[in-house]
Amino acid sequence: MYDEMASKYTVEYIAGGATQNSIKVAQWMLQIPGATSYMGCIGKDKFGEEMKKNSTKAGVNVHYYEDEAAPTGTCAVCVVGGERSLIANLSAANCYKSEHLKRPENWALVENAKYFYIAGFFLTVSPESIMLVAEHAAANNKIFSMNLSAPFICEFFKDVQEKALPYMDYVFGNETEARTFAKVHGWETENVEEIALKISQWPKASGAHKRITVITQGADPVVIAEDGKVKLFPVILLPKEKLVDTNGAGDAFVGGFLSQLVQEKPIEDCVKAGCYAANVIIQRSGCTYPEKPDFS
């Protein structure tokens, strides 16, 4: 399919990866050199080199694990009428090993960070790495956040997701993922506000921080559940003709949100920044952005 796309259509090659997209957007919003770091796995090939170049240029401090055998992961994005369909060939992205995380130069990044974000997708790759970071965050009063990422994660990786959930201070997701999470756990409700609340009340590993659930719903308001209450925040509506593609919108929302969270801004500002970033990204191809943000 990839060959067919490359030979029959004009293809754009854009550096991606769910967590990496979010971190790059947070870095872009912050405009502070080296404010963010990222770890993941790439192959020793042309795409891997491109990825390094792209992320470094974006100002992210990347420490990749380079797999000897597997090529860098790729994902075909087909866009029809602004809606996206993704066909992934995870390849090297599926090969990350916790040994890399434990190396002194990489664990130092963990020691120095105050906030952590990992996409739910990574539960399929290295739950051990996730637990190492989660336990470090809980033991050191740091903020640990994850994303539900996709309905299949909630369905088929339920056990590892449940193991990490007590450590999550922020849980991100969209309405479809939230409803799947509820169904898998036998909560007989489709009501996103109710589900967000129940996720926020799931038992926690450490009492230092409460859990906040953040659920996006496309053009509908963002749902925030904390302290037994739900708040709704409207998103910035975009005229249909301005929509290029929704690819990376959820990742960008998280990136914008995190950029304010790390500055200890109130939740309203975090959501506003998330909505701003998502709005910028859906007017462009892939998870890309202009040189400077126009957010205040």
pLDDT at 82 over 80: no
CA angle centred on 222, ends 218 and 225, rounded to 5°: 140
- Name the residue type at position 211: R
Both tokens of residue 119?
Answer: 């996409």
Q: DSSP letter at 236? A: P
Which residues 6+ apart lie within 8 Å of 66 measured at CB? Answer: 41, 42, 43, 44, 48
pLDDT at 171 over 80: yes
What pLDDT, on the 0 to 100 scale, is given for residue 111? 98
Percentage of the chain lying above the pLDDT 90 cut: 88
The Cα 32–Cα 35 span in angstroms is 6
For residues 91 and 48, is the Cβ–Cβ distance under 8 A? no
pLDDT at 245 over 90: no
- Annotated active-site positions, please? 251
pLDDT at 210 over 80: yes
What pLDDT, on the 0 to 100 scale, is given for residue 281? 95
